[in-house]
């Protein structure tokens, strides 16, 4: 995977003035666009689309400083007008093209990335693989923004708005794995851009043949393989660390890649104040 990501960086660099077809690049690299975007954002700390935009504006700043007409530079890097280019330029550099031409800056350059393998994983990950038939996730859903670190207040407010009796009702409904009350993230931006919206569902898993109450939201889940990471400790920090370790340690070491589908957190045990918890993180995968 490290080799694939570095080839992606080289391909992006060679096509900064062209339209970049990420799906085609993924096919050329022998993987999928979904997996490529997810792994890039997890390891680089930024979405692939942001990296491409920053690299384009870094190279474009050299052209602007050299005296090329702004409209020519805008067209060269895929912008339909000098105004649109100027907005993108300022978003990256914090200055206008005119400022760069007159004063040489200020500029905020994005270096070309290079991924390297480091020795980690001194502590084994508690992981299992399982094949599951089609099932459905049912419960109460809401659209919330993606937050990478700390407690997501929108999710917390959504769960807190449900009466205690509803939690008990949901637990009684669940009849298949993943067991127990679940925290489901679906329709997530493949780039995992912070602030982008996702569908969060607080609910349980039902067998595909089980009748679903009409007042509950439903996410249908296709049959397939899943990797399940078990972790215990401070919540939600240990869960977020598990997400990160899946990208930095598990996927590079195993012949599996992510496939489209929801990620699911099953809370197996927790403190009364939810400060600590034992969880299982379910992620849909396929052989790479």
pLDDT band at 162 (very low <50, low <70, confident <90, very high): very high
Residue 212 has pLDDT above 90, yes or no: yes
What confidence score (pLDDT) does residue 250 get? Answer: 85
Q: What percentage of the chain has pLDDT greater than the value 70?
A: 97
The pLDDT of 3-22, averaged and rounded, is 88
Rg (CA), the chain: 22
Mean pLDDT for the chain overall: 89
Residue 125 has pLDDT above 80, yes or no: no
The pLDDT of 258-265, averaged and rounded, is 94
Residue 106 has pLDDT above 90, yes or no: no
Q: Which tokens go with 139?
A: 């419960």
pLDDT band at 120 (very low <50, low <70, confident <90, very high): low
Q: What percentage of the chain has pLDDT greater than the value 90?
A: 47
The pLDDT of 199-220, averaged and rounded, is 96
pLDDT band at 124 (very low <50, low <70, confident <90, very high): low
What confidence score (pLDDT) does residue 179 get? Answer: 92
CA distance 213 to 172: 12
Q: Which is more confident, 138 or 22? A: 138
What confidence score (pLDDT) does residue 252 get? Answer: 77
The pLDDT of 54-59, averaged and rounded, is 90
Q: Which is more confident, 199 or 92? A: 199
The pLDDT of 51-70, averaged and rounded, is 89
Element (H, E) at 281: strand 276-287
CA distance 252 to 248: 7
Distances (CA, A) of 280 to 36, 138, 177, 249, 275: 24, 18, 11, 17, 16
Residue 249 has pLDDT above 90, yes or no: no
């Amino acid at each position: 995977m490290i080799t694939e990501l570095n080839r992606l960086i080289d391909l992006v660099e060679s096509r900064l003035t062209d339209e970049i077809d990420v799906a085609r690049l993924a096919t050329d690299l022998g993987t999928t666009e979904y997996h490529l975007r997810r792994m890039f954002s997890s390891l680089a700390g930024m979405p692939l689309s942001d990296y491409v935009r920053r690299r384009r504006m870094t190279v474009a700043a050299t052209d602007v400083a050299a005296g090329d007409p702004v409209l020519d530079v805008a067209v060269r890097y895929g912008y339909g007008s000098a105004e649109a280019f100027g907005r993108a330029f300022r978003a990256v550099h914090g200055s206008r093209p005119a400022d760069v031409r007159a004063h040489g800056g200020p500029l905020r350059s994005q270096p070309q990335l290079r991924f390297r393998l480091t020795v980690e994983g001194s502590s084994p990950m508690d992981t299992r693989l399982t094949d599951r038939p089609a099932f459905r996730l049912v419960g109460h859903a809401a659209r919330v923004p993606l937050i990478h670190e700390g407690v997501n207040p929108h999710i917390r407010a959504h769960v807190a708005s449900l009466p205690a009796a509803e939690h008990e009702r949901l637990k009684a409904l669940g009849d298949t794995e993943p067991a127990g009350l679940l925290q489901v993230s679906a329709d997530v931006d493949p780039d995992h851009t912070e602030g982008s919206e996702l569908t969060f569902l607080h609910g349980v898993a039902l067998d595909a043949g089980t009748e679903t109450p009409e007042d509950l939201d439903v996410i249908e889940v296709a049959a397939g393989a899943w990797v399940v990471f078990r972790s215990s400790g401070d919540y939600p920090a240990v869960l977020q660390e598990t997400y990160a370790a899946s990208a930095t340690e598990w996927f590079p070491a195993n012949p599996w890649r992510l496939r489209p589908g929801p990620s699911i957190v099953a809370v197996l045990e927790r403190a009364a104040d939810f400060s600590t918890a034992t969880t299982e993180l379910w992620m849909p995968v396929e052989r790479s």
